[in-house]
Chain A
Amino acid sequence: MNIVYHARVIKAVAVRDFKIRITYIPWIMNSLLQPIAWTLILVYAYRSIMGPGSSEALAAHGWAGDPVGFLILGQVLLSLFNALNWRAGMAIQRERWYGTLELILQAPASRIAVLAGSSLFGLVDAGWASFLSALAVIALTGATFNVADPLAAVASILLAAVGALSMGIGLAGLYVLTRSAGPIAVAIQHPTRFFTGSSFPLTILPAVLQYVGYAIPLTYGLEAVRRTMLQGAGLGDVGPLLYRLLLLSIASTMLGVAMVRWAEGVARRNGWLHTF
């Protein structure tokens, strides 16, 4: 009974998000075109500065393989994160904007199920857009991949998505505590682009900054996906990365859930549920 109830809540939230989403066609276009534009900018930046030598330059930093593939994978996973930042992360804030937060919290439904519904829709919504935009860039610029272990590649992609999702839920916990969730959600996108090494090898950064990068789940996901899809790495090679990714994801999810719960209590005590 309870499982069925939770499943119904998750489905209803995801379907609601979908129905609202398709009324905003320009946003859908945006989520398709933005990653294409970003990736093309990066590809041409690499080409103009390093010319044919970009492969060797990247290889010198431990990234033997096609630079275009390197950039595409970076951008795909980053846009997946960005979408989840806005979907899972902003799920509660969005109800405030609609004025529905009190009604949602007044229902006996599990808050986690509500958050899961928004996350699920975010994953699907961002997934197809990221995938299509990656295909578009490949068609435009050409890219070569080197997959030796498809299972390892699929596992890496799935876990990278889990990492992005866990960050969304972690951020949801942060956002509910503030009343400036919108600006913070915007502000967080570019540091993430920088610290996860989405557009350049992290190893060129000073060590201190690399530590910041390796505190972010997405960084591990990105590295595992690139190793398995560009360098033919197998599960044995990326196992330690995936293991750490999973641990960080669990931590981020638990932190987010705990903070959302705590914030609800604080808001109910202070009369903040209706404010935005």
Chain B
Amino acid sequence: MYTIEAEGLEKEYRIGLLSKRRVKALRGVSLRIQKGTLYSLLGPNGAGKTTLVKILATLLIPDAGWARVAGFDVAREAVEVRKRVGVVLGGERALYWRLTGWSNLWFFSQLYGIPPAEARRRIRELIELVGLQGWEHVRVENYSKGMKQRLHIARGLLNDPEVLLLDEPTIGLDPAAAREVRGLIRRIVAEGRTVLLTTHYMAEAEELSDRVGIISGGRIIAEGSPGEVKKIIGGRMVLVSLTGPPGEASRLAALLGARARSIDRVTTIEAVVEDEEEFIDKVLGEALRRGLRVRRVEVREPSLEEAFIKLTGGPR
């Protein structure tokens, strides 16, 4: 049984009122998320993560495709979806800085029509859940970034939602604050909620999720358990710097399906590969045959960016 389902979602933004420039943020995204699980959407900046979250939260209407959240269509039954979904878009703003944490939560609880007695109880619970006891009657302008983020999450849980959408919940937080937020997310999933989280940290997705989807250029390009996805984007990054006859190194890179970058007379061949030893052997053998001299060899973990290049088959 899927709590979040999407099929063929597309969204294009117009830049400016009169300009003809357009940005295609989603190019046909389909998604299925099982009830009570945590799904991470992993992707670099501009991949379309926030756009997807906003469509599922009923804040954006897709150009094509459909989505159902908690059993209701986000376009045609927006109000029903809103009652059952919590959204955390995060950021420094989006709270009333001049009000206390308690007043912020109270205000939003009333927007959800929670009866006063129940709202008071719920707010007390949530303040405890997110660890803001002792701070609830302090103005938000005096909170640290991490405290604001935890207040955001408490706000997202006010209506006891079946589904919680978290857009980059740890962005901009220091490691300790990020760890606290991740612990909080784990507790939220343990309560039986379905959580969709976006992030551009591989480690975060790996640590928290039941499933991971990789989004790039408005498409989900890979999906699976954290282990599977790690294998897909895993591999090793190999860099070999060469000098020698002009153009020869670039031809070698093309032959091996690798990228080549030249600075002065040094050309660096780089690729993300499953078996780095085999690749290095191949490069060295070919280099010898072509009269190229090897200056440097480096092997390391690929960054997410580099893994995307491997997945999408070249720079976008």
Contact = CB atoms under 8 A, between A and B. Distances in A.
B95 A100 contact: yes
Given A16-B107, A271-B13, A106 B82 contact: yes
Given A19-B99, A19-B103, A269-B61, A109 B111 contact: yes
A231 to B, nearest CB: 45
Given A16-B96, A20-B99, A100-B96, A105 B112 contact: no
A108 B112 contact: yes
Interface string A80-97: 000000000000000000
Shortest 5 CB-CB contacts between residues of A and residues of B: A99-B93, A12-B110, A107-B111, A5-B113, A99-B94
Interface string B272-311: 0000000000000000000000000000000000000000
Given A12-B107, A19-B103, A109 B98 contact: no
B103 A106 contact: no
Contact of A106 (B87, B93, B95, B110): B87
Interface of B: 11, 13-14, 51, 54, 57-61, 79, 82-83, 85, 87, 89, 91, 93-99, 103, 106-108, 110-113, 116, 155
A271 B82 CA distance: 18
Given A107-B82, A268-B59, A268-B61, A102 B94 contact: yes
Given A12-B111, A273-B59, A108 B87 contact: no
Nearest to B25: A271
A48 interface: no
A23 B141 CA distance: 12
A105 B108 CA distance: 11
Given A19-B99, A20-B99, A268 B87 contact: no
B96, B99, B106: residue with the most chain A Cβ atoms closer than 10 Å: B96
B83 to A, nearest CB: 5
B95, B99, B106, B110: residue with the most chain A Cβ atoms closer than 10 Å: B110
18 contacts: A9-B111, A9-B113, A13-B107, A16-B99, A16-B103, A20-B96, A102-B54, A103-B87, A103-B89, A106-B82, A107-B111, A108-B111, A108-B113, A109-B112, A268-B58, A268-B60, A271-B54, A271-B60
Identify whether the interface residues of A are mostly helix, strand, loop, or mixed.
helix
A102 B89 contact: yes
Contacts of B79: 108
A47 interface: no
Nearest to A269: B61
Interface in A20-59: 20, 23
Interface of A: 5, 8-9, 11-13, 15-16, 19-20, 23, 98-100, 102-109, 114, 265, 268-271, 273
Given A16-B103, A268-B59, A269-B61, A103 B94 contact: yes
Nearest to A2: B113
Contacts of A102: 54, 59, 89, 94
Given A16-B99, A20-B99, A99-B93, A107 B108 contact: yes
Contacts of B103: 16, 19
A100 B113 CA distance: 18
Contact of B113 (A8, A20, A106, A271): A8
A265 B60 CA distance: 9
Nearest to B58: A106
Given A9-B113, A109-B111, A270 B14 contact: yes
